[in-house]
Amino acid sequence: MVLKDKKTKITFHHGMRTIGGTYIEVTYENSRIIFDFGSQHDVLETSNNVSLESILERDLAPYIDNIFDKNIDLSAFKNKESFDKKGHMYDNTAVFVSHIHLDHTKMINFLDKSIPLYMSEKTKELLKNVNIDGEFLYPNSYIDAHTRDIIGVKENDIIEVGKIKVQVVPVDHDAYGASGFIIETPDLKISYTGDIRYHGYRKDDTLSFCEKSKNADVLIIEGVSVSFQEFDEVVAEGEIVNERMVIDSIKKVVFDNPSRQITFNYYTTNIERLLNIIDSNPRKVVLDAFHAFILFKSTGVKSYFYSLDGKDYGLEEKYKIDFNKLLKDKSEFFWQLNTEAINYLDKMDSNGIYIHSNAAPLGEYDPNYLPFKINIENKGIEFLTMACSGHAHPLDLIDIIDRIKPKLLVPIHSFRPEKLFNNYGDVLLPESKQTI
Ligand SMILES: [Zn+2]
Ligand SMILES: [Zn+2]
């Protein structure tokens, strides 16, 4: 195996045969880096206000020595064996986060404040704003901000952690600011895709990530799509398979229904899709104030907004649309239906259309999804889904592997990682906590 006789060690702590809570540690002598720092999603968890102990007990994230906030007593989790072997302090530890999705970020407030946390500048800015009310990430009562300190990294910049170098390289994914990492130690080159795809707005970034990763010793690749799809699966005629088609389908609904109320929801951090919805829409796109604030902070784009909760996000009044005007409208606006706004719709407004575009609740596996859908349909509104995956299609994953030609392929972040293959070397399916 490629890591034989190397000083670099890689430990796969968590998130190998599941989608969420990826934790991988790379060490070289007295330096170590860890990526990412999110948690697996527990559909039964109704509030973010839970203790770190409860998260670790449910194995939503792994216990790792000397990385969590020292104010929290985790002695119960210290596994004697791991403590004896690896419990020594590293001179340099740093944590890197590939993108904003909660399965990659949700735990960052529990990271000890002495440990630096790096992510792309775009992800940093977006995360700070999305968590402005402290409702996105897990809160930690020992820090006095909603979001702990983060160091933003410019696209393609290299951070040095002792003798480990990490390049933060942008990739295409349905999260603004998503990056992969190219990690070099004196004796090994490792490429980590984060979550990646070709079929969005930044395919060229994914291609250039592949180019930079070429001939990596180890390629750690996400395999979300092969969890559910086969390589030879035929795409049904008209099925939406890329971001372009999402935008075109939405546009068509708007053109075909000039006198129906049309509302929508998208996933908050998919800023690039939102920009394209706004650009391509013949109607005025109106967001709730919170989402208009996030869009403005991330891109400088000012959008129309409405406010039901009266919270002041510092938006310009001239972009404000009276909510009652939206309720009565049939042709001028294309507006975001937030959870509170749903309550104002009644059968009087029937014959409307609602477009669900990868918004929360995401899908039928979420117990909130069906009640949400039925509630909207019960108001006489047609419920349409126009969405596409943030993850590379199965054959695109193989294309990424073919471009990089790694000596060792490590597929993770998948229910069926064994589906991925490597024509250029070995494949490793690591067990949880395995070190190579
Ligand atoms: Zn993601
Ligand atoms: Zn993910």
Tell how far the Cα of 101 is from the centroid of ligand 2, in angstroms: 7
Q: Among all chains, which residue has been given the structure tokens 């990763």?
A: 213
Q: Are strands 353-357 and 382-385 parallel, antiparallel or unpaired?
A: parallel
How big is the chain by its Cα radius of gyration, in Å? 22
Of all residues in the chain, what percent carry a pLDDT higher than 70? Answer: 96
Q: Which one-letter amino acid corresponds to residue 274?
A: L
Question: What is the whole-number distance in angstroms between the Cα of residue 389 and the centre of ligand 1?
Answer: 10
Within 378-420, residue ranges assigned H as helices are 394-404
Whole-angstrom Cα distance, residue 126 to residue 107?
16
Ligand 2 centroid from CA 46, angstroms: 20
pLDDT at 231: 85
**Which ligand minimizes its atom distance to the CA of 196?**
1
How far is ligand 2, taken at its centre, from the CA of residue 222, in Å?
8
19 Cα: distance to centroid of ligand 2 (angstroms): 6
Determine the distance separating the centroid of ligand 2 and the alpha carbon of 299, expressed in angstroms: 23
In whole angstroms, what is the distance from residue 434 CA to residue 8 CA? 14
CA of 123 to the centre of ligand 1 (A): 12
Instruction: Using the mean position of ligand 1's atoms as its centre, give its distance from the Cα of residue 326 in Å.
Output: 32
| Exposed e or buried b per residue across 78-98, where buried means at least 16 C-beta atoms within 10 angstroms of its C-beta | eeeeeeeebeeebebbbbbbb
State the DSSP code for 30: T
Determine the distance separating the centroid of ligand 1 and the alpha carbon of 177, expressed in angstroms.
11
Q: What CATH superfamily is the domain 9-229+391-435? A: Ribonuclease Z/Hydroxyacylglutathione hydrolase-like (3.60.15.10)
- Which letter, b or e, does each residue of 319-338 get, where b requires 16 or more Cβ atoms within 10 Å of its Cβ? bebebeebbebeeebbbbbb
Delimit the domains of the chain by residue range: 9-229+391-435, 243-385
Nearest to residue 118, comparing CAs of 80, 47, 166?
A: 166
Residue with tokens 């088609």: 245
Ligand 1 centroid – CA 271 distance (Å): 13
Model pTM?
A: 0.92
**CA atoms of 39 and 53, how far apart (whole Å):** 13
In order, the DSSP letters of 83-147 are HHHH-SPPSEEEEE---SSHHHHTTGGGB-TTS-EEEEHHHHHHHHHHTTTS-SSPP-TTSSSSS
Max Cα–Cα distance, the chain, nearest Å = 72
State the burial class of residue 259 (Cβ atoms within 10 Å of its Cβ: 0-12, 13-18, 19+): exposed
User: How confident is the model over 105-120, as pLDDT tens digits?
Assistant: 999 999 999 999 999 9
User: Both tokens of residue 210?
Assistant: 């592949």
β-bridge mates for residue 68, sequence order? 111
What pLDDT does 347 receive?
60
Q: Can you state the angle between helices 289-299 and 271-280, rounded to 10 degrees?
A: 100
Q: How far apart are CA 13 and CA 157, in angstroms?
A: 26
d(Cα 338, Cα 356) in Å, to the nearest integer? 11
Task: Walk across the sheet containing 164-170 and list its strands.
Answer: 158-161, 164-170, 179-185, 188-192, 218-222, 408-412, 426-427
Are 68 and 112 contacting, i.e. CB atoms less than 8 angstroms apart?
Answer: yes
Class of domain 243-385: alpha beta
User: By CB neighbour count within 10 A (0-12 exposed, 13-18 middle, 19+ buried), where does 309 fall?
Assistant: exposed
Q: CB within 8 A of 425, min separation 6: which ones?
A: 2, 405, 406, 407, 408, 409
**pLDDT tens string for the chain (436 positions)?**
677 889 999 999 999 988 889 999 999 999 999 999 999 988 888 888 899 999 999 999 999 988 999 999 888 887 654 544 555 568 899 999 999 999 999 999 999 999 999 999 999 999 999 999 999 999 999 998 999 999 999 999 999 999 999 999 999 999 999 999 999 999 999 999 999 999 999 999 999 999 999 989 999 999 998 888 888 888 787 888 899 999 999 999 999 999 999 999 999 999 999 999 999 999 999 999 999 999 999 999 999 999 998 899 999 999 999 999 999 888 999 999 998 898 888 765 568 999 999 988 888 878 889 999 999 998 889 999 999 999 999 999 999 999 999 999 999 999 999 999 999 999 999 987 888 8
| Closest listed ligand to the CA of 101 | 1
Cα(316) to centroid(ligand 1), Å: 32
Residue 174 alpha carbon to ligand 1 centre in Å: 7
Q: Tell me if domain 9-229+391-435 and domain 243-385 are identical in fold.
A: no
Q: Which ligand is nearest to the CA of 178?
A: 1
Kindly write down the DSSP assignment for every residue of 324-359, as one continuous string. Answer: HHHHH-SSSEEEE--HHHHTT--GGG-S-EEEEESP
